[in-house]
Amino acid sequence: MQKKIIYEIKSLYRDHFRVNGYEFGDGKKSVCIVGSTRGNEIQQLYICSQLVKAFKLLEQENRIKEGHRILIIPAVNPYSLNIKKRFWPTDNTDINRMFPGYNLGETTQRIAAGVFDVIKEYTYGMQFTSFYTPGKFTPHIRMMKAGFENTDLAKKFGMPYVVLRNTRPYDTTTLNYNWQIWETHAFSIYTTTTSQIDKESAQTAIRSILNFLSKENIVEYHGHEGYVSLVVEDTDMVPVRTKSAGIFESLVKAGDEIYRGQLLGQITDPYEGEITEQLYSPVDGMVFFAHDEPLTYADAAVYKLVAHEKV
Amino acid sequence: MIKTIASVKMPVDEILQIKKHRLIPDGKPLAGLKRISIVTGIHGDELEGQYVCFELIRRIQAQRESLTGIVDIYPAMNPLGIDSITRGIPAFDLDMNRIFPGNQDGDMMEYLANQIIDDLVGSDVCIDIHASNIYLTEIPQIRINELHKERLIPLAEKANVDFIWVHGANTVLESTLAHSLNSRNTPTLVVEMGVGMRITKSYCLQLTEGILNLMRELGIWQGETIPPRRPIVSEHPDDVCYLNASMAGVFIPHVKHWEKLKTGDLIGRIIDPLKGEILDEIRAPIDGHLFTIREYPIVDAGSLIGRLLRVDHS
Ligand SMILES: [Zn+2]
């Protein structure tokens, strides 16, 4: 293992800003794993730290196949992690909206450029990332339909789901999209949580990466085989939206099997405690995403469901 | 007449409302009248447009008989942001100008964005007033995506701004209000002027005159207007030179905004107050007008210090 500084800049009063990478094996640029890019992505950081630990062991036991170089970057934005701010401290920009970056541009463009310069041209790119709405997910691999996506490859992770979604204008500046443009097979990996550590789904993610790398003949690993992934289009998910706002209580959680007509959650009046709305499942299926904050707005998609048969 | 164009229930005894003020000629049917829409406050920390809205309404109401069209004024597209000194949408950390055109059946934000587009579409011209951000001060300027320049430059030239910046198409900007409206055949001008969290009265009055002039050209206003300034129009990327900080420190400007600089002129210094040292001097790399200048003193390596508009010697 080799620990190295991927990118560094000086600050006026803070310690230097450093992006660290951990490199295992040697040979061609084979696998790059990126963790937290935002200050609230703690689970993403945790998973990478566990992966670094796992790869140390794999390396010691000579279980990394010859000719493969693996790079893990647990955090692209330690400055924001340290002050509990999601985006860049001084200008609130999002590093994951700055790729491929520009080394003569603004600060986060420079960071993105400095990091991308190192992490491009890997055969496989995996990123642990998060969504802007608060809630919990069923672990899944998310792929953008940028024209290069390979769902068969994604299934090799053995995650419960592979989700395909259409690209939106602002996606063109994400790491995932730019990896794909540079011909890296890019996968965004979502586990259950973001700002809290969830060990169970972290283990699922770690196993899935090791499974994938074992199937691609990059590491030797004989673990739990994982799931037979179901490929779903984002647009096929069934949203359950609130009509009223108030205190939200969920009776189900991400990953739960649910049936048509099942009570999923309810909203109560924040002053008088009366139930103002009950949310029922319109399908037989599974809870893919569940809002997990105690308050909700109206018109919020508090659940996303995967239906077992098409509705 | 004040109307709520979109509303969403919030968790605890509050309704989020986006409102507009419609001014119409007295006692005339509305059919066939031209309509101008003035939008601001998409970024909650940009306040320059607040005074423009106020002043425009004041001018129109003082001279109602001169109004011959419809004026719709939307001073607060992101009311929660304005109230909480938040650029984006509070609670989501989401830039409201990246969610258009939205979706009628989508989440709260997508729904709001969709309602806003629905209300604005069909305006003969829309003006979306921004105020840079808290870091940079801008001279009054209109920014135009090159995709829409044929239609928008002639309108922008009537708006009494100093500078028209035609920039390249950029996929990220496809989710802005202006792009969504321009691609729905509703000509929309994006004004950037002043600085975040402040009101620069002189710029606001300058733009108000420009809006009245544009209204007069469109047949919405019959009152007196002043002839607009002749803006510099820049269409080539090479016309604009970006100045970025070479290192972190405190920026101390040495020149004034919109000053005409010669190559080598000192723009400002980056200093280190701990060591008492000058870390860097920023000098003009070309002859040009300084149309953007750093307002917020703390800089990181890469922070934008200013932008120069090349002066053509040919
Ligand atoms: Zn703005």
Out of A232, A258, A288, a domain closes at A232
Pick B302's closest partner by Cβ from A12, A107, A168: A107
| CA–CA distance, B110 with A218 (Å, rounded to integer) | 43
Q: Same structural domain for residues A77 and A188?
A: yes
The answer to whether B215 touches B37, Cβ cutoff 8 Å, is: no
A128 and A21 inside one domain: yes
Same domain (yes/no): A115, A215: yes
> A42 and A6 share a domain?
yes
Residues A178, A244, single domain; the answer is no
For the cut 80, the answer to whether the pLDDT of residue A25 exceeds it is yes
Ligand 1 center–CA B12 separation, angstroms: 29
- CB interface of B with A, residues 159-178, below 8 Å: 171-175
- String of DSSP letters for chain B: -EEEEEEEEETTTEEEEEEEEEE--TT---TT--EEEEEE-SSTT--HHHHHHHHHHHHHHTTGGGB-SEEEEE--SSHHHHHTT-SSBTTTTB-GGGSTT--TTS-HHHHHHHHHHHHHTT-SEEEEEE---SSEEEEEEEEEEGGGHHHHHHHHTTS--SEEEEE---GGGGGSHHHHHHTTT--EEEEEEE-TT---HHHHHHHHHHHHHHHHHHTSB-S--PPPP--EEE--GGGEEEEE-SSSEEEEE-S-TT-EE-TT-EEEEEEETTTTEEEEEEE-SSSEEEEEEE-S-EE-TT-EEEEEEEPP--
How far CA A97 is from CA of A88, A269, B165, B271, in Å, comes to 11, 38, 24, 30
- For the CA atoms of B290, B294, B299, B301, what is the dihedral angle to 10 degrees? -30
Question: Is the domain of A242 the same as that of A143?
Answer: no
Q: Which residues contact B7 (CB under 8 A, 6 or more apart)?
A: B15, B16, B17, B18
Taking 50 as the threshold, does the pLDDT of residue B279 lie above it? yes
> Hey, is the C-beta of A106 within 8 angstroms of any chain B C-beta?
yes
What's the whole-number mean pLDDT along residues B6-23?
Answer: 95
Q: Is residue A299 helix, strand or coil? A: coil
Interface test with A, best of B269, B300, B303, B305 (most A CBs within 10 A): B300
A199 SS3 class: helix
B8 touches chain A (CB under 8 A): yes
Measured in whole angstroms, the distance separating CA A276 from the mean position of its chain's CA atoms is 34
Angle at A131 between CA A285 and CA A86, to 5 degrees: 155
Q: How far apart are CA A119 and CA A179, in angstroms?
A: 9
Residue A133: C-alpha distances to residues A76, A139, B66, B144 (Å): 21, 16, 48, 32
Q: So what's the pLDDT on residue A310?
A: 54
B244–A104 CB contact, under 8 Å: yes
Measured between alpha carbons, how far apart are the two ends of chain A, in Å? 50
pLDDT tens for A43-93 read 999 999 999 999 999 999 999 999 999 999 999 999 999 999 999 999 999
Do A16 and A5 contact (CB within 8 A), yes or no?
no
Determine the distance in angstroms separating the CA of A110 from the nearest CA of chain B, rounded to an integer. Answer: 7
Return the percent helix, strand and coil in chain A, to nearest 5: 25, 35, 40
Q: For residues B288-305, give the mean pLDDT.
A: 97
Contact A104 B12 (CB under 8 A): no
CB pair distance less than 8 Å for A133 and B92: yes
- Mark which of A210, A232, A254 sits at the end of a domain: A232
Chain B: residue nearest A87 by CA?
B93
User: Residue B241: pLDDT above 60?
Assistant: yes
**Domain topology for B237-310:** OB fold (Dihydrolipoamide Acetyltransferase, E2P) (2.40.50)
**Quick check: A270 and B171 CB within 8 A?**
no
Bridge partners of B151, per DSSP, are none
User: Is A176 found in the same domain as A300?
Assistant: no
A89 three-state secondary structure? coil
With bands split at pLDDT 50, 70 and 90, how would you rate the model's confidence at B227? very high
In angstroms, how far is CA A269 from the centroid of its own chain? 34
The distance of A248 to chain B (nearest Cα, Å) reads 9
Give B156→chain A minimum CA distance, Å: 26
SS3 A296: strand
Q: What are phi and psi of A71, to 5 degrees?
A: -120, 130
Final residue of a domain: which of A174, A198, A232? Answer: A232
Torsion angle, alpha carbons of B244, B248, B253, B259, to 10: 0
Instruction: Say if the Cβ atoms of A296 and B11 lie within 8 Å.
Output: yes
- How many C-beta neighbours within 10 Å does residue A201 have? 22
Which DSSP string corresponds to A97-161?
GSTT--TTS-HHHHHHHHHHHHHTT-SEEEEE---SS-EEE--EEEEEESS---HHHHHTT--SE
CATH number of B2-234: 3.40.630.10
The domain in which residue A18 lies consists of: 2-232
Task: For residues B56 and A11, give the distance between their C-alpha atoms in angstroms, rounded to a whole number.
Answer: 45
Task: Assess contact for A174 and A142: CB atoms under 8 A.
Answer: no
Rounded Cα distance, B130 and B78, in Å? 12
CATH number of the domain residue A92 falls in:
3.40.630.10
CATH of the domain at A285: 2.40.50.100
Contact between residue B131 and residue B75 where contact means Cβ atoms under 8 Å apart: no
Mean per-residue pLDDT, A101-106: 96
Give the mean model confidence (pLDDT) for residues B65-77: 98
Domain residue extents for chain B = 2-234, 237-310
Which token pair is B125? Answer: 């011209």
Question: Which pLDDT band, with edges at 50, 70 and 90, does A311 fall under?
Answer: very low
Q: Exposed (0-12), middle (13-18) or buried (19+): which is B205, by Cβ within 10 Å?
A: middle
Q: Which residues, in sequence order, are CB contacts of A227 under 8 Å at separation 6+?
A: A158, A159, A160
Instruction: Residue A295: list chain B partners with CB under 8 A.
Output: 11-12
Q: Mean pLDDT over all residues of chain B?
A: 95
Q: Which residue has the higher pLDDT, B57 or A228?
A: B57
* Pair (A185, A292) in one structural domain: no
Helix (H, G, I), strand (E, B) or coil at A234: helix
- Residue B196: which pLDDT band, with cuts at 50, 70 and 90? very high
Average pLDDT over residues B195-200: 97
Of the ranges B101-110, B123-132, B303-312, which one carries the lowest mean pLDDT score? B101-110
Q: Are residues A182 and A260 in the same domain?
A: no
Domain count, chain A: 2
Claim to verify: residue A191 and residue A164 sit in the same structural domain? yes
Model confidence at B313, pLDDT cuts 50, 70, 90, reads low
Contact B301, B245 (CB under 8 A): yes
For residue B102, the chain A residues in CB contact (below 8 A) are: none
- Same domain as A136, residue A283: no
What is the pLDDT, as a whole number, of residue A63? Answer: 96
Q: Measured between CB atoms, which of B108, B173, B304 is closest to A106?
A: B304
Report the predicted TM-score, pTM, of the whole model to 2 decimal places.
0.93
**Angstrom distances, CA of residue A234 to CA of A144, A304, A305, B103:** 10, 10, 10, 15
More confident residue, B230 or A134: B230
Residue A214 sits in the same domain as residue A243: no
Closest CB to B300 among A11, A86, A87: A11
- Cβ partners under 8 Å of residue B224, min gap 6: none
Q: Tell me, what's the pLDDT at A249?
A: 97
On whether the CB atoms of residues B67 and B25 are closer than 8 A, the answer is yes
